[in-house]
Amino acid sequence: MAGATGTATLLARLDGMIHEALGSAVQPGAPIAILDFPDIRNCGDSAIWLGEMAWLAKRFGAEPAYVCREHDFSKAALMDAAPEGPIFIHGGGNFGDIWPGKQDFREHVLDCFPDREIIQFPQSIHFMAQDRIARTARAIARHGRFRLFVRDRRSLDFARRHFDCEAHLCPDMAFAIGPVTARRARMPVLAMLRNDQEKADIGPWAYPDMAREDWVTENRYKVKATKLVAAIGAGPAPRAYRKFRFLDAAAHQRFRRGIRQIERGRVLVTDRLHVHICATLLGRPHAVLDNNYGKISGLMDSFYPGQNHLAERTDSLDKAVAWARARAAVMAAKGE
């Protein structure tokens, strides 16, 4: 019970920090536009989106008047649905040149709305090329009303060195979801490890008795059906509202899929930031390996260094697995 209380206290504190950082960004009564909905398989991006929606609903009783994906952005449609007020860009870990398409879109939005305040929900920043830093800096300077929220101190220091804009520290928006009820685990240890360019350097997999998965595989037909049911359920509402329901339903479906997947493990091993965050929301112990540029440790060091009793930071897969197996054995002996 003490552990559960500690986690609840941590989540409440992080939720308060989110509102303290971002609260002034919303203009009560003004329509809200949020760009770059994450219509992708990665459950973590959907967790961020749902945290953004939870924060708006809980603190302002609001939903966005306009949402779009990168490919269906329309300046005219945005101006029709939200002719005034700040424009938000969805948060995550794509500010930089690892995912260049996202940065291209962000800079395009800055150029499209020179007279509107643009607010970037919390991001991690990582650039590899100096010329791309300079290009982003020029776009931000040209705009003049960009507010950048970041989810680690390294990103904050970077932003303040390179960009002429307001830059503020804010926890990842997925924390705004709050505690999630978990079903009983079905296996002692589940490894949830990245399989993309951000993956940790873990070497060859040497644990044939342990499940190793990622959460970027989905049934696209089920997601499509979920979207359509939500759009039909919205009835004869304005098109922008039906689109919001269409996309928001997909985020819920993906988040539920991710939770169902990770709750099967009594203890988790991961190098995914949002497996770490979702495991914390679920109250599940987990061993953390950093991704390839320190995204997870950056968040932890910035907001709860040594204060998340569920997370064990490790520097090798062998250590992570050993800790997870030992923790799972203790929990099983206690009937947890």
Q: Looking at residue 2, what is its pLDDT? A: 43
Task: Round the average pLDDT of the chain to a whole number and report it.
Answer: 92
pLDDT of 220 strictly over 90: no
What number is the average pLDDT over the span 150-165? 97
pLDDT of 9 strictly over 70: yes
For a pLDDT cut of 70, what percent of the chain falls above it?
A: 96
What number is the average pLDDT over the span 273-295? 94
pLDDT digit string, tens, across residues 222-239: 777 777 776 677 666 678
What number is the average pLDDT over the span 21-42? 94
What number is the average pLDDT over the span 232-254? 83
Other Cβ atoms less than 10 A from the Cβ of 17: the count is 15
Just give the CATH number of 2-176. Answer: 3.40.50
Q: Looking at residue 236, what is its pLDDT? A: 67
pLDDT tier at 1, thresholds 50, 70, 90: very low
Write down the residue that tokens 């493990």 correspond to. Answer: 265
pLDDT digit string, tens, across residues 102-152: 999 999 999 999 999 999 999 999 999 999 999 999 999 999 999 999 999
What number is the average pLDDT over the span 63-91? 96
DSSP 314: -
DSSP 294: -
Please say whether the dihedral angle defined by the alpha carbons of residues 89, 93, 98 and 99, taken in this order, is positive or negative.
Answer: negative
Distance (Å, whole) CA 320 – CA 191 = 10
Cβ neighbours of residue 261 closer than 8 Å, sequence gap 6 or more: 43, 192, 213, 215
Contact between 168 and 259 under an 8 Å Cβ cutoff? The reply is no
pLDDT of 3 strictly over 60: no
Other Cβ atoms less than 10 A from the Cβ of 154: the count is 19
Other Cβ atoms less than 10 A from the Cβ of 95: the count is 25
Domain boundaries, the chain: 2-176, 182-334
Q: Looking at residue 148, what is its pLDDT? A: 98
Q: Looking at residue 10, what is its pLDDT? A: 95
Distance (Å, whole) CA 87 – CA 118 = 5
What number is the average pLDDT over the span 314-321? 95
3-state DSSP: the chain helix, strand, coil percent, rounded to 5? 50, 15, 35
pLDDT of 183 strictly over 80: yes
What number is the average pLDDT over the span 317-334? 96
Tokens representing residue 187 in the block: 């296996």
What number is the average pLDDT over the span 197-214? 89
Distance (Å, whole) CA 327 – CA 286 = 9
Q: Looking at residue 242, what is its pLDDT? A: 85
pLDDT digit string, tens, across residues 12-22: 999 999 999 99
Counted residue by residue, the chain has a size of: 336
Distance (Å, whole) CA 57 – CA 296 = 27
pLDDT of 240 strictly over 90: no
Other Cβ atoms less than 10 A from the Cβ of 37: the count is 25
Is residue 313 helix, strand or coil?
strand
Burial class (CB in 10 A: 0-12, 13-18, 19+), 292: middle
Q: Looking at residue 320, what is its pLDDT? A: 96
Cα 93 from chain centroid?
A: 8
